[in-house]
Amino acid sequence: MERKAIFAPVGEASVTRAIVSEFLGEFLDYIESDVIVVGAGPSGLMAARDMAKSGLKTVVIESHNYLGGGFWAGGYLMNKVTFRAPTEDILEELSIPYKEIEPGHFVSDSPHACSKLIAAACDAGAKIINTTRVEDLVVREDAVCGVVMNWSAVSYMPKAIGCVDPVMLQSKLVMDATGHHARIVGHLERRGILTMPGEANMWVDRSEDGVVEKTGFVYPGLLVIGMAVATVYGLPRMGPTFGGMLLSGRKAARIAIGCIKDMEANSAETFESKA
């Protein structure tokens, strides 16, 4: 009896060609961008979403296969995440369902909140490069202007066969959204350019305000956002409450958008004065 196929006839070579050509085409385009966000946790995704929405060419680099960082798991492996006012405005904006537990205190399902935020960043046009680890910074004339990166798998390979050189991406700005370890600012620290005191003890109230207040440039071309801010400035940790992460990402995006507008205006002026 003749078999009636359900799916369109597509061969193996076609599948491989589609993956390689699409990936490389996009990769070539994103070798130079406006902003590279390192880390796809809640702060990085929020910043990427706002920047991409405003038209900035935005790349997010994530060392894991999955995106979302600590936003999936809530606290104590219980998949609920909490937010404090005024973060409900962002929850509404991203259509994340939430429940008010007490005045100004909200709770959501972390898988639902996390997947909505990932989708919002992708829908806005942010380009995601996952399974890729940023291992250093490109620095020119005392300003960060790109990252050095390699497949995450390379760092798990035995040294004997793991000697694989990285590649570099260039951008106008870089954001360290790598969470508690502040891995990207760490590359400046290990060269003695700055020192990081590390996180202080838990204090939710102080931490959320402090992280948002201190979100911003830590070095020319490099912004620090999310929990990395606490590590860089010695602020208290905050535990499984996420309003600070979303507002930090939003603030960082606002700073980056303004900064890139200024850079473009300055380069247009220089061009006009040369003409």
* Dihedral angle, C-alpha 60, 64, 66, 67, nearest 10 °: -30
Contact pick of 34, 56, 69, 91 for ligand 48F (by CB under 6 A): 69
The yes or no reply on residue 227 touching ligand 48F (CB under 6 A) is yes
Q: How far is the CB of 177 from ligand 48F (least distance, A)?
A: 5
Closest distance of CB 188 from ligand 48F, Å: 14
CB nearer ligand 48F, residue 245 or residue 270: 245
* Interface with ligand 48F (CB under 6 A), residue from 117, 118, 121, 177: 177
Query: Binders of ligand 48F among 87-116, rule CB under 6 A?
Result: none
63 binds ligand 48F (CB under 6 A): yes
41 near ligand 48F, judged by CB under 6 A? yes
Near ligand 48F by CB under 6 A, which window of 33-41, 87-95, 192-200, 259-267?
Answer: 33-41
Which residue ranges make up the site for ligand 48F (CB under 6 A)? 38-44, 61-64, 69-71, 133-134, 177-179, 183, 226-228, 238, 241-242, 245
